[in-house]
A and B are shown apart, each in its own frame.
Chain A
Amino acid sequence: MKKRLLATVLAGAMVLSMAACGSSNANKTESAAASETANASTEAGAESGETQAAAQDGDASSELNIYMWQQYISDDLIKNFETENNCKVNLSYMSDNADAINKLTAGGGDEYDLIMTCDAYMKSLIAGGYVEELNLDNIPNSSNINDTYWVSKGYCVPYLMNYIYVVYDSETCPVEIHSYNDLLQSGLKISTIDGARNLFPIALVALGYDPNSTNESEIAEAYEWLQKFNENVVAYGNAEQNLTNGTANVAVTYDGNASWAMKEKNTIKVADFTSDPIQLGIDLFVMPKGAKHVDLAEKFLNYICTPEVMAKNLEEFPYSCPNDAAVAAASDDYKNDPARDFSYKENVFFQEDVGDTLTIYNDYYQKLKVGE
């Protein structure tokens, strides 16, 4: 019996050591893959091959691991940073805000040096001790960032930001939209952003309540409002696609996404809101607790805060930006973008931590999606 137990333990150890070999082999196979592409392609490839070789030397600061949204940062920007600092930047991408929060809170966040999240989570992330305090003296260019958009200064560096507003196709949309309540009119086909904490504030504002309400009866009312709203919704997500191909005639979406849709179809306009405030979300970088390449991460943050660098990035990704100097240095195309040509930019609210009330939001959100 004892022997059998021993054998089982031994076999277990074998499997585990196999797994360990697997993970230590990862670097090898990757660099092999990297050098393969380096050989196959031109200058850019050769460059990454070089940096890869440098990364293999084991110098801690020759490598930077970033977790963020896909299609949100210019490849050229990354390449320039790699050349300037003789390092390798490993980008991996999330498909949901929750992915980043899971990485930060479930553990294993220290495998990354920078993780992108948004302002709404900052308070809890700091309270939970999941993020490192930043030394802003090492990030001098961060002074370009407008303090209005900088929540939890000292723990994060804002990157780009998103107004969640209403755009419509002036050709096919049957009604004028001046407020959230106008979205309940018949004949609308809405493509809207998803998520409990994006949808409920809209309803709460429409009903005249605090968008970050913690009052259950108000949330219940908001749920009823959203049920009516839901009847007009054709899809959650995919706003640009649905607007440009005619599936939807109204969209509740981010200004950056609207910008692209407007370039494809010039009949798309920003709704002229009279008094309802709109949500502003700020995507920012935090340094997870235990990040290993702090110096390089600081250098990277400083780099993206450089006005000229960010200005170039904005050409490729025309989102709103909290970096005033960068916006000033941006191209005319960016400055005259119709997607950001609306008068109520100051009339915004931020998503705040609602604590335990989140469970109530989620219950109603699920009820909304399941339908009665």
Chain B
Amino acid sequence: MLTDATADKIRCDACPVMCYIKPGAAGACDRYANHNGELVRVDPHIVLERTVSHGGRLVPFQATGDWDGELVREPSVFVTAIGAGTTYPDYKPAPFIVSSEIDGVDMVTVVTEGIFSYCGVKVKIDTDRYLGPETATVRAQGEAVGHVTTSEYGSQMLSLGGVHHLTGGSKKEGRVTCDALMDLSNCKPVELTIDGGATVVVQAGYPPIVNGVAEERMRVGCGSATIGMFAKQWHGKVDEVVVVDDHITGVLSEHQAGKLLDIPDTGIKMKGRRSTPGRYFQVAEPGTGWGGTMISDPLSVLGPFDPRTARSGMTMLMVSTTGEHSAYYELDETLRPIEKPMPADLRQSVERIQENCEPALCTVLFMGGAGGSLRAGVTDNPVRLTRSVKEALTRVTSGGAPVYVWPGGGITFMVDVTRLPAGAFGYVPTPALVAPIEFTLRLSDYAALGGHMDHVRPLASLKENTEIRQMSPRPPGPRA
């Protein structure tokens, strides 16, 4: 490799064409590229081998020379759409040319296109901490890239990207959105700020970092559910339990589970709005404190105990729905709760709550689609075609990863980005994301229509330098 002193381009000496290659670009052959001033080889098509057992056996693809050239040999082996230079900013999909020797068809030329203007990511953040109000704008580098959408059980949800932010706003908004989507899709960390809410660092497969604090666990359930799950374990060990939760705070003595165990009233007085016995909404404003509320002192959700029922020396456990916060109290002569060291058996129940909380992760689903342009064509026999399309849809994959194809028109699919090989997503300056999408061409309806294409074989540059990658059977992560 020769370097050009006057510019950041390099001159490739891999062949006599001697291309000058700019950073981030590839030479005429698409086999060599300039990666940060370094000449790198980028041409291997990536072939994913998904072993049936999750044990992860790597099958030599060509070293033994026994590859028969089939693209679709078994359902678990196929060529992905991830081609040369996918990681480069100016990735341009080369025509994907396949050749076959199937009866009746000698050659097939295919033009791939996986450029998605209509695309985005759905981010699930396992936390009960308050990230921001529903529909609040989510920003990256100050630009609007999406919004907070309806939360799911134990998780906050963000909807990012989409054609509105990619191409509907300012040029900078589009570029920042595209960058954020690509980074999230390539499993890189992205800092997001929510209007009127928190700053959260999101990275697929890793715990969210909310306002600088890494989340550890999802809640075991809402406060009421937690009472139901642990009432028996608390019975006889403590007079009262309050499970503090942003959604429903539970009170053992009033809760149906407590009643069934004949737990006597304690004269406790909760703030907030009573839903049904022992279940309280809105005991405090949402926040990043106890149980997803803003409180740091749990006693602030309590009013004074009723002196007709309460008695001095009564015991009370207060705990959050993740077990992350907990405190033990005894009522003094004036019926004021005084914090005391927690007895071992109660400490154990708190640890049990923690144990039952799953690790909190960020998960990122890439979602893209193209309405009419991705639909199959029509034939003389639309019913047969419709069937074949449906069959084909079951074989849609993205970078080898299984996808969920949304029912209805077009092909709108979702894929867990942690299941794609590294750097599988690219972009074009439109701006739009380039996502790998494969459609196996073993198409039964071709046979019916004379095509007879039950296999498709790769033609060019597939045999050499083919890289085998293991499909991850489940998302990788720090705990995997």
Co-complex (A, B):
no
B interface with A by C-beta (< 8 Å): none
A interface with B by C-beta (< 8 Å): none
